[in-house]
Chains A and B, each alone.
Chain A
Amino acid sequence: MARRSKNGYEWGSPFIYLVAAILISACLTPVIFIIVGAFRTNSELTTDPAGWPSQWQFSNYTNVLSTSLFWQQAGNSLIVALWTTLGVVLIGLMAAYVVARYQFRGRGALYALYASGLMFPLTVAITPLYLLIRSLKLVDTLPGVIIPQIAFGLPMTIIILVPFLRAIPKEIEEAAAIDGCSRLDFFWRIALRLSVPGLVTTGILAFVGSWNGYMLPLFVLNNPSLYTLPLGTQAFSSEHSVDTAAVLAFTSLSMLPALAFFSLFERRIVGGLTGAVKG
């Protein structure tokens, strides 16, 4: 019996590596197809679409990198994603702090209101939202994308942050109060620091969500020089539909920043969600 239980945990080690290998190749094949495909010539891509480059062409990449439109659109994406992240995290933290640490009538209702936001996804609101943005004269401006993105990012942020803030022991707050620390001081000096894992998680989710956002920019932005990268990639791909290699190069380059950002912070995402999902 004892041996069997020990084997229970060692079981199938090679099998696990095999499954992991299959999984990884399933996940990466399309990505590799995009990146490697861009090193090929168009004629190669037509005659032998699944092959490896016979000669590595860097020109597809350098051509995209030398266009100002790509850099402009990458810059737009960065501006939109950074402001969205900052807004979502800061405003969400303040709102979550009130729900988590103040006792007042209507607190439950307030939380329910934010949580109900999960049921009002962008898809449903997009048409009236566009009309609202139009009447605020924000069509074809980056704030026209940023502000709604912050608003729609709030519910998830608040839901993730509340358990973090609630988990801070009352004693710390009392001790701080005795030392002459007001509620707001406590917020800035202690709560902010203790909820860093949650802030990082929500920040990453907001950043990646905004970086990849498609529907809202599609409705709000018409001017190609204001496009974010997803729109730019889409426009490039329909304009250059014959030039597959160039499309692949543009596509590869637009996915690199999100990939780099994510691999840096992957561990934090799992860590930060743990508190929220348990709740």
Chain B
Amino acid sequence: MSWRERGEIALMSAPALILFLGFVIFPVITAAYYGFFKWKGYGPPIDFVWFENYRIILTDPAFLDTLRHNAFILVFSLVMQGPLAILVALLLNKKMRGRSIVRVLIFVPYVISEVIVGIGWSLMLQSGGALDETLRNMGLDWLIRDWLADPSIAIWTLMIIITWKYLGFAVIIMLAGLQGIPEELAEAAAVDGASYWQTQWRITLPLLGPTIRIWAFLSIIGSLQLFDLVYIIWGQYISSTAGTSTMATYMALTGRLSGNYGYGNAVAVVIFFISLTVALIYQRFVLRRDTEGALTGGN
């Protein structure tokens, strides 16, 4: 390789590498360092407490609750969104009038910011709000619940909002995957007498496998990192009594908002290790066969 080529590689990689190492990798590493201190964020960290922060986190019932909530969100995101998104994508992949309009409209929730979603949904769902009113008008008073504050309901409310918000993204990815599947295969199956659903089940779905597995990966990571929606709808304190707090809202609440930076960093490290473990297990057992290179390194 010529020096000229080396120079080009260095020149073109430098901005990305500097930004990436400086603002993505470095903060995560410093989080690991600060996590060993009892530190309020001012002056250098001096109160080295070994694993004390981690001991407190892992024995705090409030944190263990958030862990359960994240696990619930993770599982139900996959179960609720995946099949629904595949069905919708299959539907939108068929020839029909107004297909492109339907496509745009179902992506609307994905495009709207979490803040707007949060404000809009909480106004609709508050006691005596639009949903309660609609149910009352339909004579379904017995269905009315305290959608946001009742701990046995609130997490399901959150799941519905998450499904509503992120279904569009799942559909975009599935549609992109479907476009990569040659139509001739379905046509050949049809000639051989396969019904529509047989074709989808036996041919389209397996070929969509890599797409589904990548989507599931993004969904899992997203579920473990969930912050905005919960923080906006349930606020800083109510989320724990409503049973919707997540690891990330716990981090914000116990870390920066209380000024305990050492502790907050330790929580970040715990979230990171949980995400990393889940991601590595997923890659090892699920993703390996289709993304040689994309996420596992090498090509």
- Any chain A CB within 8 A of the CB of B159? no
B190 touching A183 by the CB < 8 A rule? no
Among A57-65, A171-179, A206-214, the one that faces the other chain is A206-214
Chain A residues with CB below 8 A from B298, complex form: 108, 111-112
| Closest chain A CB from B201 CB (angstroms) | 13
The one of B20, B173, B176, B294 that contacts A159, using a Cβ cutoff of 8 Å = B294
Judging by beta carbons under 8 Å apart, are A251 and B119 in contact?
yes
Q: Are A214 and B115 in contact (CB under 8 A)?
A: yes
Tell me whether B96 and A13 are in contact (CB under 8 A): yes
Residues of B within 8 A of A6 (CB): 190
| Complexed CA–CA distance, A147 and B92 (Å) | 38
Minimum Cβ distance to chain A for residue B153 (Å)? 18
**Do residues B295 and A118 form an inter-chain contact, with CB atoms below 8 A?**
yes
Of B20, B124, B232, the residue contacting A33 (CB under 8 A) is B124
A148 — which chain B residues lie within 8 A by C-beta?
23
Q: How far is the CA of A121 from the CA of B279 in the complex (A)?
A: 12
Contact A248 B123 (CB under 8 A): yes
Residues of A within 8 A of B34 (CB): 127-128, 131
Pairwise interchain contact A112-B297, C-beta atoms closer than 8 A: yes
Whole-angstrom CA separation of A181 from B269 in the bound complex:
48
Interface size grouping (class) on chain A = 35 or more
Closest chain B residue to A234 by CB distance? B115
Task: Specify which of B19, B94, B177 is in contact with A277 (CB 8 Å cutoff).
Answer: B177
Judge if B286 is at the interface, Cβ distance under 8 Å: no
Whether B20 lies near A154 (C-beta < 8 A) is yes
**In the assembled complex, B143 has its CB within 8 A of some CB on chain A:** no
Tell me if B13 and A95 are in contact (CB < 8 A).
Answer: yes
Decide: B294 and A23 in contact? CB cutoff 8 A.
no
Cβ of A222 within 8 Å of any chain B Cβ, yes or no, is no
- The verdict on A94 contacting B116 (CB below 8 Å), with A8-B190, A103-B1 known, is no
Q: How many angstroms from the CA of A20 to the CA of B93 in the assembled complex?
A: 12
Chain A window 1-15, contacts with chain B (Cβ cutoff 8 Å), 1 for yes, 0 for no: 100111011010100
Which of B57-65, B105-113, B144-152 touches A?
A: B105-113
The count of residues in chain B whose C-beta lies closer than 8 Å to any C-beta of chain A is: 107
Cross-chain contact A102 with B130 (CB below 8 angstroms): no
Q: Report which of A117, A132, A248 forms a contact with B30, defined as CB distance below 8 A.
A: A132
List the A residue with the shortest CB-CB distance to B31: A128
CA distance A117 to B275 in the complex (A): 12
Residue on A nearest B117 in the bound complex, by CB:
A30
Name the one of B104, B119, B297 contacting A233, with C-beta atoms under 8 angstroms: B119
- The main secondary structure of chain B at its interface with chain A is helix
B15 within 8 A of A: yes
Chain A residue at minimal CB-CB distance from B84: A23
Q: Which residues of chain A have C-beta atoms less than 8 A from B106's C-beta?
A: 23-24, 27
**Is the CB of A215 closer than 8 A to any CB of chain B?**
yes
Q: Is A278 an interface residue (CB 8 A)?
A: yes
A46 → chain B, closest Cβ, in Å? 8
Please indicate the chain A residues that have their CB under 8 angstroms from the CB of B111 in the complex: 208, 212, 258-259, 262
Most buried by A among B13, B24, B265: B24
1/0 contact string of A142-165 vs chain B (CB within 8 Å) = 000001101110110011000000
B41:A131 contact, CB within 8 angstroms: yes
Q: Are A31 and B225 interface neighbours, CB within 8 A?
A: no
- Point out the residues of chain A lying under 8 angstroms from B265, CB to CB: 127-128
Contact partner, A102, options B9, B117, B176, B199, Cβ 8 Å: B9
In the complex, whether A82 has a CB less than 8 A from a CB of chain B is: no
| A242 within 8 A of partner (CB) | no
**With A112-B296, A119-B279, A131-B41 in contact, do A230 and B195 touch (Cβ < 8 Å)?**
no
Q: Are B129 and A121 in contact (CB under 8 A)?
A: no
Question: Can you list 17 A-B pairs with a CB-CB distance of less than 8 A?
Answer: A27-B109, A28-B105, A34-B123, A91-B19, A104-B9, A108-B298, A114-B20, A118-B218, A118-B221, A120-B24, A127-B255, A132-B22, A151-B23, A152-B23, A230-B113, A230-B116, A278-B180
A49-B132, A278-B177 given; 5 more Cβ-contact pairs under 8 Å = A115-B294, A132-B22, A233-B115, A262-B108, A277-B211
Closest 3 CB pairs of A and B: A112-B297, A212-B113, A95-B16
